[in-house]
């Protein structure tokens, strides 16, 4: 069962990222994010049904609303960065969220920062520097709009991790997973003009691709939850980092992102190494 869940989590994540990049290359981010979160919420209902547990308190409701708002923003930023960034660059660059997660954990949750954490941060920073470095550009790829969106996305996702950990004090993981998908869809739908036909058009043209991305996202999340129940996080997390490396190779192979291949692979390995050390 461990091997099955591990394969589902890794391949689900890689496949979802590649299909999402394919769809967003020719469509806008907002309607895609609304549809994806809505479908994920619906598909998560059977999982949530078996463990509907929550505290009906004001603190729980506030925590859920804050997490929903952050995930709505993160969802849009994720789609925008995916649309404007090569998959082989976005996957390792997105791991910079770990730096922000560590910072926010120390500042907001008052968690202890160890020497391992500092070394891990340094390795990740070196990996990102290698990824963005270009001999003809003083600031590497920071002028690239996709890179900037990915870095902003990483900051927001660093905050969502804190919001999730706080909200899970009041909700079961299965029920919270359902709400974490459905709430952003509701929030983003509220800000979608009724006259906007982009959602209908996107659904008509890419219905099965969006269903596939949503199903793969749900499978990935649920398989990851199950792995955390079966194995220590110090074992699960390093194994899941294989998805980053496979996504880099997927971008190179499927989308012909063949510029600076060696540089991308070296950067990905450095970032993954730092991520593993950060969770040890």
The better pLDDT of the pair 78, 230 is held by 78
The label of the residue with tokens 């998908």 reads 181
Nearest of 154, 174, 149 to residue 54 by alpha carbon: 174
Please give the span between the terminal C-alpha atoms of the chain, in angstroms, as a whole number. 23
The better pLDDT of the pair 141, 1 is held by 1
Residue 46, pLDDT > 80, answer yes
| Mean of pLDDT values over 37-54 | 88
The better pLDDT of the pair 43, 194 is held by 43
Ramachandran quadrant class, 110 (left: phi over 0; alpha: psi -120 to 50; beta: rest):
left
Residue 178, pLDDT > 50, answer yes
CB 31 within 8 A of CB 202: yes
Residue 139, pLDDT > 50, answer no
pLDDT for residue 151: 92
| Mean of pLDDT values over 78-87 | 92
Question: For residues 74 and 223, what is the distance between their CA atoms, to the nearest angstrom?
Answer: 22
Residue 137, pLDDT > 60, answer no
| Mean of pLDDT values over 200-216 | 93
Structural domains in the chain (count):
1
- Cα–Cα distances in Å, from 192 out to 73, 185, 196, 275? 14, 10, 7, 37
Range with the lowest mean pLDDT among 78-87, 104-113, 144-153, 263-272? 104-113
| Mean of pLDDT values over 202-212 | 94
CB 170 within 8 A of CB 57: yes
Task: Give the global pTM.
Answer: 0.85
CB 160 within 8 A of CB 70: yes
Question: For residues 221 and 211, what is the distance between their CA atoms, to the nearest angstrom?
Answer: 15
Express each pLDDT in 89-118 by its tens digit. Answer: 999 988 888 888 888 888 887 878 788 888
Q: pLDDT-based confidence at 196, cuts 50/70/90? A: low
Report the percent of the chain where pLDDT is more than 90: 38
- Which residues span the domain enclosing 201? 2-279
Question: For residues 148 and 232, what is the distance between their CA atoms, to the nearest angstrom?
Answer: 34
């Amino acid at each position: 069962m461990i091997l099955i869940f591990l394969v589902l989590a890794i391949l689900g994540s890689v496949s979802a990222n590649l299909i999402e990049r394919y769809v967003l290359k020719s469509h806008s981010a907002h309607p895609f994010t609304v549809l994806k979160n809505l479908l994920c919420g619906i598909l998560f209902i059977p999982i949530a049904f078996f463990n509907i547990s929550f505290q009906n308190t004001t603190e729980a409701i506030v925590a859920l609303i804050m997490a929903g708002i952050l995930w709505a923003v993160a969802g849009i930023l994720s789609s925008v960065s995916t649309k404007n960034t090569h998959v082989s660059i976005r996957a390792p660059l997105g791991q910079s969220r770990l730096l922000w997660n560590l910072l926010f954990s120390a500042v907001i949750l008052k968690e202890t920062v160890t020497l391992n954490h500092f070394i891990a941060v340094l390795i990740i920073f070196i990996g990102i520097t290698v990824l963005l470095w270009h001999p003809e550009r003083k600031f590497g790829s920071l002028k690239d709009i996709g890179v900037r969106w990915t870095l902003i996305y990483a900051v927001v996702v660093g905050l969502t991790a804190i919001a999730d950990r706080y909200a899970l004090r009041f909700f079961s993981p299965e029920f919270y997973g359902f709400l974490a998908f459905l709430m952003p869809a509701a929030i983003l739908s509220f800000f979608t003009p009724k006259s906007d036909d982009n959602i209908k058009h996107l659904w008509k043209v890419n219905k099965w691709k969006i269903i596939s991305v949503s199903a793969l996202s749900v499978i990935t999340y649920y398989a990851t939850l199950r792995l955390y129940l079966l194995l220590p996080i110090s074992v699960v997390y390093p194994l899941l980092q294989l998805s980053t490396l496979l996504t880099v190779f997927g971008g190179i192979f499927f989308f012909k992102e063949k510029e600076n291949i060696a540089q991308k692979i070296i950067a990905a390995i450095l970032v993954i190494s730092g991520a593993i050390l950060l969770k040890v």
